[in-house]
Amino acid sequence: MWRRVASVSHLFSHSKSTKFNQGASTFKIWETFTSESEIPTPSKGSPFITFVLGGPGSGKGTQCAKIVEAFGFTHVSAGDLLRREIASGSAYGSVILSTIREGKIVPSQVTVELIQKEMESNDNYKFLIDGFPRSEENRKAFEQTIGAEPDVVLFFDCPEQEMVKRVLNRNQGRVDDNIDTIKKRLEIFDELNWPVINYYSQRGKLHKINAVGTVDEIFEKVRPIFAPLSK
């Protein structure tokens, strides 16, 4: 487990310094990933992190399940961690619940701590972080606490009308699957998630996937991104 080592930041410090903190020449190497055909080679010594972004109902969780099956990632859904926190009756539970009901964003410190714990308690080194970061503040808090940036960022690009339709048909009893909350979530997504998407696009890490079509058709667009990885 990651926990066996002193701290997660320690583990991640290698990837942080080698990938991003060595000046212009290193940055040029990363720019080559804008080709969208290459991803960094994972090594078992440091975590391989994929952020999975997209609006509400764009199909992030659905595609994560397929990626887990095909490529052996561990799925860490930030929303699921927060819902689990509510169900556990934790001290943060009621504030998380009201934030989710309002379609707003839970304070970064809470979410990052939950993600960190989940990663630390897992033997795997390949992680899909689903539905996070939702804002630049989230992104910076993750980098600061964990000490790493993602290796790959997926963005499921889906028209609003389709997202609304999917969410309203989801039928999983989520408190935020109603038209009022969806409208708010879409507004927050537009306001706060786009800067994150643009940030990773500029870093040459973004893989934008057209999320319209059947689940299998969309996965066939995802598969080549991870093809260099073995399960």
Report angle CA 132, 200, 123 to the nearest 5 degrees. Answer: 50
Q: What is the C-alpha end-to-end distance of the chain, expressed in Å?
A: 18
183 is a contact residue toward ligand ATP (CB under 6 A): no
For the CB of residue 4, give the shortest distance to Mg ion in the complex, in Å: 30
Tally: H helices and E strands in the chain: 11, 5
Residue 131 annotated as part of some ligand binding site: yes
78 is a contact residue toward ligand LLZGTKA7 (CB under 6 A): yes
Interaction mask 20-39, ligand ATP, x per CB under 6 A: --------------------
From candidates 56, 103, 147, 204, binder to ligand ATP by CB under 6 A? 56
Nearest to 150 by CA among 231, 66, 225, 79: 225
Burial 169-183 (b: 16+ CB within 10 A, else e): eeeeeeebbeeebbe
> Interaction with ligand ATP in 131-170: which residues (CB under 6 A)?
131, 166-167, 169-170
63 is a contact residue toward ligand LLZGTKA7 (CB under 6 A): no
From candidates 2, 48, 67, 79, binder to ligand ATP by CB under 6 A? 79
From candidates 11, 19, 33, 57, binder to ligand ATP by CB under 6 A? 57
Look up residue 96 and give its amino acid.
I
CA distance 62 to 69: 11
Which residue numbers belong to the known binding site for CMP? 138
